[in-house]
Amino acid sequence: MSGEASSPSANGPVLAVRGLTVTAAKRKILDGVTLDFPPRSLTAVVGPSGCGKTTFVRTLNRMVELTPGLRVEGHVDYVGQNIYGPGVNPVLVRRRIGMVFQRPTVFPMSIFENAAFGLRLIHEPEEVVDRAVTEALVRAGLWDEVKQDLDRSALSLSGGQQQRLCIARALAVNPRVLLLDEPTSALDPAATQRVESTMERLKQDIVLVLVTHNVSQAARVSDRVAFLHSGRLIEVGPTADVLERPKDPLTEQFITGRFA
Partner 1 sequence: MENASVPSVDNIRFDGSARTRWRLGFDRVIGWLLPLLFLVAILPILSLVYYVSARALPTLSWTVLTSTSPYRTDALGVPIIGTFEVMLLATLLAVLFGLFGGIATAEFLSDRVAGWVRMSANLLVGTPSIIIGYFGYFTFVLYFGWGLSYIAGVFTLSFFMTPYVFRTADLAFTSVPRHIREAALGSGAKPSQYILKVGTPIAFPQILTGVFLAMAIGVGETAPIVLTTQPGVLVPQTVYSPVTFLTQLIWENFAQSQSSGLQVLAFQAAFLIMVVVIALNIVVRLISSRYRKRLEGLYA
Ligand X SMILES: Nc1ncnc2c1ncn2[C@@H]1O[C@H](COP(=O)(O)OP(=O)(O)O)[C@@H](O)[C@H]1O
Give the one residue of 81, 82, 105, 185 binding partner 1; rule: CB under 8 A.
105
Q: Which stretch binds partner 1 (CB under 8 A): 120-128, 133-141, 193-201, 231-239?
A: 120-128
Burial of 133 (0-12, 13-18, 19+ CB in 10 A): buried
Contact flag: residue 54 with Mg ion (CB under 5 A): yes
Q: Which does 109 bind (CB under 5 to 8 A by kind): ligand X, Mg ion, partner 1, none?
A: partner 1
- How far is it, in rounded angstroms, from Cα 215 to Cα 225? 9
Contact flag: residue 162 with ligand X (CB under 6 A): no
Give the one residue of 8, 19, 50, 257 binding ligand X; rule: CB under 6 A.
50
**Measuring CA to CA, which residue among 138, 143, 166 is closest to residue 154?**
166
Please give the residues from 3 up to 32 whose contact with partner 1 meets the rule CB under 8 A: none
**Measuring CA to CA, which residue among 12, 21, 136 is closest to residue 146?**
136
**Measuring CA to CA, which residue among 43, 45, 52 is closest to residue 23?**
52
Contact flag: residue 66 with ligand X (CB under 6 A): no
Site size with ligand X, rule: CB under 6 A: 13
C-beta of 95 vs 258, nearer to ligand X = 258
Give the one residue of 52, 98, 160, 246 binding ligand X; rule: CB under 6 A.
52
Give the one residue of 41, 54, 61, 251 binding ligand X; rule: CB under 6 A.
54
Other C-beta atoms lying within 10 Å of the C-beta of residue 20? 24
- How far is it, in rounded angstroms, from Cα 177 to Cα 81? 14
C-beta of 72 vs 242, nearer to partner 1 = 72
The residue ranges of DSSP E strands in 130-206, in sequence order, are 177-181
Contact flag: residue 53 with partner 1 (CB under 8 A): no
Contact flag: residue 66 with partner 1 (CB under 8 A): yes
In the complex, least distance from residue 51 CB atom to ligand X, rounded to whole angstroms: 4
C-beta of 43 vs 114, nearer to ligand X = 43
C-beta of 55 vs 114, nearer to ligand X = 55
The residue ranges of DSSP E strands in the chain, in sequence order, are 15-24, 27-37, 42-46, 70-78, 81-82, 98-100, 177-181, 207-211, 224-229, 232-238
Contact flag: residue 250 with partner 1 (CB under 8 A): no
- How far is it, in rounded angstroms, from Cα 159 to Cα 176? 26
Contacting positions for Mg ion (CB under 5 A): 54
